[in-house]
Amino acid sequence: MVTILAYHSGVRIGTPLASALRSAYVPGPTPGPPPAPMIMRRIAAAVLLLPALASAQARPATEALVRQVDSLAKAFVAAGSTPSVSISIVRGGNALVMGAWGKADVEQGVEATAASVYEIGSGTKQFTAAAIMQLIEQGKVKLEEPIATYLTGLPDAWRVVTVHQLLNHTSGIPNYTAVAAWAPHWAEEKKPDSLVAYSAHLPMDFAPGTKYKYDNQGYVLLGIIIERVTGKRWQDDFAERITKPLGLGSTRICDVGSIIPHRVRGYEKLNDTLVNAPYFSVSQAYAAGAICSTVGDMARWNRALHTGKVVSPASYRLMTTPDGAAAATRYGFGLQVDTIAGHTLISHGGNIPGFASANAWVADEELSVTVLSNAIAGNPGLLSRQVMRAALGLPPAPPVTRRPPSGAKE
Query: Mind listing the pLDDT tens digit for each residue in 15-36?
Result: 355 555 555 533 333 333 333 3
* Residue 45 scores a pLDDT above 50: no
* Residue 44 scores a pLDDT above 50: no
pLDDT tens digits for range 338-367: 999 999 999 999 999 999 999 999 999 999
Query: For position 314, what pLDDT does the model report?
Result: 98
* Residue 47 scores a pLDDT above 90: no
60: confidence class by pLDDT, cuts 50, 70, 90: confident
Closest CA to 266 of 73, 115, 117: 117
* Cα gap 295→368, rounded to integer Å: 10
Residue 26, sorted as left (phi over 0), alpha (psi -120 to 50) or beta, turns out to be beta
Query: For position 397, what pLDDT does the model report?
Result: 61
Residue 323, sorted as left (phi over 0), alpha (psi -120 to 50) or beta, turns out to be beta
Query: For position 181, what pLDDT does the model report?
Result: 92
Tell me the average pLDDT across 69-90: 96
* Residue 192 scores a pLDDT above 70: yes
Closest CA to 141 of 25, 228, 63: 228
* Residue 202 scores a pLDDT above 60: yes
Query: For position 28, what pLDDT does the model report?
Result: 34
Query: For position 61, what pLDDT does the model report?
Result: 85
395: confidence class by pLDDT, cuts 50, 70, 90: confident
Out of 55-69, 344-358, 361-375, 377-391, least confident range: 55-69
What residues have CB less than 8 Å from 154, skipping those under 6 apart? 147, 148, 200
pLDDT tens digits for range 267-309: 999 998 999 999 999 999 999 999 999 999 999 999 999 999 9
C-beta neighbour count of 56 within 10 angstroms: 6
Asked if residue 72 lies in contact with residue 399, where contact means CB atoms within 8 angstroms, the answer is yes
Tell me the average pLDDT across 99-117: 98
- Report the predicted TM-score, pTM, of the whole model to 2 decimal places: 0.86
3-class secondary structure for the chain?
CCEEEEECCEEEEECEHHHHHHHHCCCCCCCCCCCHHHHHHHHHHHHHHCCCCCCCCCCCCHHHHHHHHHHHHHHHHHCCCCCEEEEEEEECCEEEEEEEEEEEECCCCEECCCCCEEECHHHHHHHHHHHHHHHHHCCCCCCCCEHHHCCCCCCHHHCCCEHHHHHCCCCCCCCHHHCCCCHHHCCCCCCHHHHHHHHHCCCCCCCCCCCCCCCHHHHHHHHHHHHHHHCCCHHHHHHHHHHHHHCCCCCEECCCCCCCCCECCCEEEECCEEEECCCCCHHHCHHHCCEEECHHHHHHHHHHHHCCCCCCHHHHHHHCCCCHHHCCCCECCCCEEEEECCEEEEEEEEEECCEEEEEEEEHHHCEEEEEEECECCCCHHHHHHHHHHHHCCCCCCCCCCCCCCCCCCC
